[in-house]
Chains A and B, each alone.
Chain A
Amino acid sequence: MKIQETSPRLDEHLKVPAMFGSGRGRVVTILLMALLLILPLIAWYAGNKFYLDFSTRIVCLAIAAVSLNLILGFGGMVSFGHAAFVGIGAYAVGIPAYHGYESAWLHFPLAIGSASLFALFTGAISLRTKGVYFIMITMAFAQMAFYFFLSLEEYGGDDGMTLWSRSDFGIINISDGLTFFLLCYGVLALCVYLVFRIVHSRFGMVLRGCNSNEARMKALGYNTYAYRLTAYVISGAMCGLAGALIANLQDYITADTMTWTRSGELMFMVILGGAGSLFGPVFGAGAFLLIEEILSAYTIYWALPFGILLILSVLFVKGGVNGLIQRGWRR
């Protein structure tokens, strides 16, 4: 088809989406993302390794939350099993390392590949169902993965396995805390950018359309199942990548990473940050870990105020942290 000149009427409707949003939200978003990069660097410079590691943890979990947000926030698929992908990604580092294969160029493709496969298999079945069935089935499949790895005595079983050295990239050395942090931050930035491209693409429009009104999408001629499954696999792959990073961060791999309460925490991060917003899950992961860190410094019973906070945020806060950033504190 020959592209004709665009009329002025049409021009005003061709919009290039802005990654950081607009106005006040744009400023705060860029500022927060910059802080997430700069504060750890200052901490490292000041010789405080704890805050560097803590920030790396935020960044790694943010990647997992961003991946969950793609299907939960934009696609409306309430997956309660994302911890499984984190765990699979982690074991994709641990198991080869145990057998002496330490190359990151094996670990990371393996993590992404096996998480995708698991997503393809479980997604193909779970996406045949809707609503509450989907929630419970994703949960059950994650529990299946949990028990599977728990039963592998060879790889530590209940006790988990220690990662004696971090994945070997050859060109960079991630045993160094700072290098590792920068790598994780780079991966996070890449993932957020990917999600940004995806949700505004044709595919993303279909994904969001399925979220908004699936019956209508079918009537328009979309094979919604295929699109949702694709999104589910992309999300799983990204989450597997996060898992590979988390394994390297902890130097320790255990099936506990995959319990369903972990999936619940990831979900909480997404909601806390603002589901369906691009940077929301990053802020959510940050807020979640900060609150957890602060509360647990005061009491071993930190889960109590945490639970109350969770219920209050469900009942009263709409749009999460990102919502507050975009529209200020006014309700």
Chain B
Amino acid sequence: MSTLFLIQLLNGLQLGVLLFLLAAGLTLVFGIMDFVNLAHGSLYMLGAFVCASLTFLTGSFVWGVLLAIPIIAVIGYFFEVLIVRHLYESNHLDHVLATFGIILIADTLVQLSWGPEGIAIPLPGYLSGQVEIFPSIIFPTFRLVIISSGLLIAAGLYWLITYTRLGMLIRAGASNRTMVSALGVDISTLFAGVFALGAVLAGVAGMLIASITEATIGMGNDIIITAFVVIIVGGIGSMKGAFIAAILIGIIDTLGRSFLKDILELFIASGSAETAGPALSSMLIYIIMAVVLAVRPQGLFPPKVR
């Protein structure tokens, strides 16, 4: 039980860092540009597919990732310049509808380019094995890689936002657009840059997950809702909130799916637990969201500005 528990805890952590990569971009784009991007999941999907192709082309997963990152950045940049930029003045409803259109387009384009089947990304041998992290606890190497690279990226983002000039502009941009302009910074370049950064974060999440599952059409459409739950719980626009909520949601969701049924069996008849377990565990994170909102409508860590 405790071995399984530790392994599931690590799995939850892995889901958590992936969710953070997605949520970070969403919350950046919303916090700074006040833009709701439903198509964020499409960037996650594109990351997976582009990385898959490049991995086959170069014969190396690492090269695949390294080359896919600038490509996703460019896609994100043009996405902002061509479409998103023209919607900042509109209301959230227009954002939602237009990016919904983007999802339809992206899903179809991926189907046109890569076909309807999913693509698995092959891992090099040194990543596909397992390691014994504690005595008798064996965990896939690559999942550890995901966890550590996710935490590294989180640390990098923290450094970027807290200590760099870009980070200062980002924080200022959230509260005061005119001030940023007054500092002599081209605000539209800043916005496009931030958007591209968010795209890369989502893309990397897609690349990492596609090596465990596979790259499939519409793969972003489910996880994007979970990412929404994360930023709602964390407080929209807050990077710290996104991180804490992502880890929390990742762990709770994973543990709920593996143990809720057993826990229920302690209290109710095993037949009912058989039915209620999966139903309840699939709703768990939404119930948590509802509870958080009932107590704190602005989320756990609402950004201070406004």
Contact = CB atoms under 8 A, between A and B. Distances in A.
A268 B232 contact: no
B225 A139 contact: yes
Contact of A315 (B98, B111, B228, B290): B98
B53 to A, nearest CB: 20
In this complex, the member of A122, A137, A140, A268 whose beta carbon has the largest number of chain B beta carbons within 10 angstroms is A140
Contact of A310 (B97, B111, B278): B97
Interface residues of B, number: 45
Residue of A261, A309, A314 with highest tally of chain B CB at under 10 A: A314
A311 B275 contact: no
A125 B236 contact: no
Given A132-B30, A133-B236, A303-B107, A125 B92 contact: no
B109 A304 contact: yes
- Main secondary structure on chain B at its contact with chain A? helix
> Which of A131, A133, A268, A271 gathers the greatest number of chain B CB atoms within 10 Å?
A133
Contacts of A143: 222, 225, 286
Given A78-B93, A131-B92, A271-B93, A311 B83 contact: yes
A176 interface: no
Given A148-B283, A303-B107, A261 B221 contact: yes
A129 B109 contact: no
Interface of A: 72, 78, 80, 122, 125-126, 128-129, 131-133, 135-137, 139-141, 143-144, 147-148, 150-154, 259-261, 264, 267-268, 271, 301, 303-304, 306-311, 313-315
B279 interface: yes
Given A140-B225, A307-B103, A311-B102, A129 B293 contact: yes
B102 A307 contact: yes
Contacts of A141: 286, 290
B105 interface: yes
B57 to A, nearest CB: 25
B108 A301 contact: yes
Contact of A150 (B36, B93, B232, B282): B282
Nearest to B277: A151
A309 B108 CA distance: 14
B190 interface: no
Given A140-B289, A151-B278, A306-B104, A314 B94 contact: yes
Contacts of B30: 132
Interface string B204-238: 00000000000000000110010011011000100
Contact of B108 (A264, A307, A314): A307
A307 B112 CA distance: 15
Nearest to B34: A132
Contacts of B222: 143
Given A143-B225, A151-B282, A307 B101 contact: yes
Contacts of B112: 301, 304
Contacts of B282: 144, 147-148, 150-151
Contacts of B109: 304
Interface string B229-260: 10110001000000000000000000000000
B154 interface: no
B159 interface: no
A126 B289 CA distance: 10
Contacts of B105: 303-304, 307-308, 311
A143 B228 CA distance: 11
B197 to A, nearest CB: 20
B279 to A, nearest CB: 5
A249 B193 CA distance: 49
B305 interface: no
A262 B198 CA distance: 26
